[in-house]
Amino acid sequence: MTRAAGNVSVVAAIGQAWRRLDAYLESRIRQRVTLRGLGFTLITIAIGVTAFVTANNLLFLLLALLLSALLVSGFVSRLGLAGLEVDLVLPRHVSARVPCPATVKLRNHKQWIPSFALRLQGSPNSGFTQPVYFGLLAGGGQVRVPLTLEFPRRGQYREDAFEFSTRFPFGFTDRRVRVAIERDLIVYPSVLPQPGFEQILQRLEGEISSRQRGRGDDFHRIRPYEHGEGTRHVDWKTTAHTGALQVREYVQPEQPRVEILLDLAIGAGDMAWLEEAIDCCAYLGWSLSERRAPFRFRTQLCDLQIPDEAEVYDMLRFLALVEPLYAASNVPDPQFASNSDEALVVFFSRRSGTDPRHSADPRAARSA
């Protein structure tokens, strides 16, 4: 019984070691025989068979030359892929489905041996839209290539797999080697408008403008005239006394407060709705921030006052990493009731049936 158990453990250890070796080779260098390489191999086999059958020394010399070409091709291509280091420089803020500029830095650590005909491509999660080609990388050299990346979805990208490939020198094989870049990149939701999003923003801006009409009735101060201003509020008495144009300045009415409420509690099949609602919240928050309009963003997990207590990037970072809260009830959470009747509330909740593309009226959205 003890001997059988020992044999099983030895077999398991050998199997585990083989799997590790296979995974290492798979993650390192792979090769695929090209059509040219297949034709060259068939010719080599035919000449080898003919040489052995006919015992012709010239054919043996030709066979040796062909085999040498195969060996040299494999050695040179493998040497060209060795000693390469790649780094990817990205902007600080990246949004999904928005093209962003980036820079690929490639360095050859082989001091005396150059690398030829290199092609760099990324995995689907790397954001690469097309391969990058390097014709020549000198020994000990470094090259920087600008490119455009586009990430398909929001979230955190911890490690992206990249792959170098080359067919140099003769094109018999397409030899590939995988490299990984350790990085912690957070991709925000898309801030581009989708169908229906612009209508929500337009109605929200209309509500803000309607509550902000007028210049204000409370006098603030008299100040010097600035170029480009109208003459409607010029104080002519003060102007005559000082000899320079003076303007009466009034207190601007307080800008109405906007609240964006996102209910993260959804059902099992509502993930697509939540992703669309997250994109809509990101678009509204980004648009309001560009217009310097203060707003409040709330979910069950966060409460951000922008720009008083946080930046819009804090909101986008939260939306990039947020996960749904699966709810057992169809009743909206009472915590989303606004504390102020003056606030313009845009409310997204699957449990109340609001649609990110049709919650355009803030007053209607508040009562939903």
Residue 73 has pLDDT above 60, yes or no: yes
pLDDT at residue 360 above 50? no
Band of residue 25 on the pLDDT scale cut at 50, 70, 90: very low
Q: Going by DSSP bridges, is the β-strand pair 303-306/295-298 parallel, antiparallel, or unpaired?
A: antiparallel
Percentage of the chain lying above the pLDDT 70 cut: 73
Among 225-229, 268-272, 291-295, 340-344, which stretch is predicted with the lowest mean pLDDT?
Answer: 340-344
pLDDT, mean of residues 114-142: 82
Looking at residue 46, its pLDDT comes to 92
Cα–Cα distances in Å, from 186 out to 26, 166, 277, 318, 324?
A: 29, 32, 19, 10, 18
Question: In the predicted model, is pLDDT for residue 216 greater than 70?
Answer: no
Per-residue pLDDT tens over the stretch 230-253: 666 777 777 778 878 887 765 555
For 158, residues 6+ apart whose C-beta sits below 8 A from its C-beta are 182, 183, 184, 185
Per the listing, tokens 């590939």 go with 176
Question: DSSP code of 360?
Answer: -
Q: How confident is the model over 295-350, as pLDDT tens digits?
A: 889 988 888 998 888 899 999 999 999 998 876 555 555 555 555 556 788 888 87
CA nearest neighbour of 142 among 86, 88, 182, 80? 86
Question: What is the percent of the chain with per-residue pLDDT over 90, rounded to a whole number?
Answer: 10
Strand order in the sheet with 258-262: 303-306, 295-298, 258-262, 344-348
| Residue 314: predicted pLDDT | 93
Q: Are 6 and 14 in contact (CB under 8 A)?
A: no
pLDDT of residue 61: 92
Over 50: is that where the pLDDT of 364 sits? no
Tell whether the model's pLDDT for residue 225 goes beyond 70: yes
pLDDT of residue 340: 55
Which region among 22-36, 137-151, 237-251, 299-313 has the lowest average model confidence (pLDDT)? 22-36
Question: Does pLDDT of 368 surpass 50?
Answer: no
pLDDT band (50, 70, 90) for residue 279: very high
| CATH number for the segment(s) 24-188 | 2.60.40.10
- Residue 155, Ramachandran bin (φ over 0: left; ψ between -120 and 50: alpha; else beta): left
What's the confidence (pLDDT) of residue 65? Answer: 92
Structural domain spans, the chain: 24-188, 197-211+254-367, 219-250
Lowest-confidence segment of 108-112, 140-144, 191-195, 339-343 by average pLDDT? 339-343
Mean pLDDT of the chain: 77
Task: Give the containing element (helix H, strand E) for 301.
Answer: none
**Which residue bears the tokens 């040179």?**
76
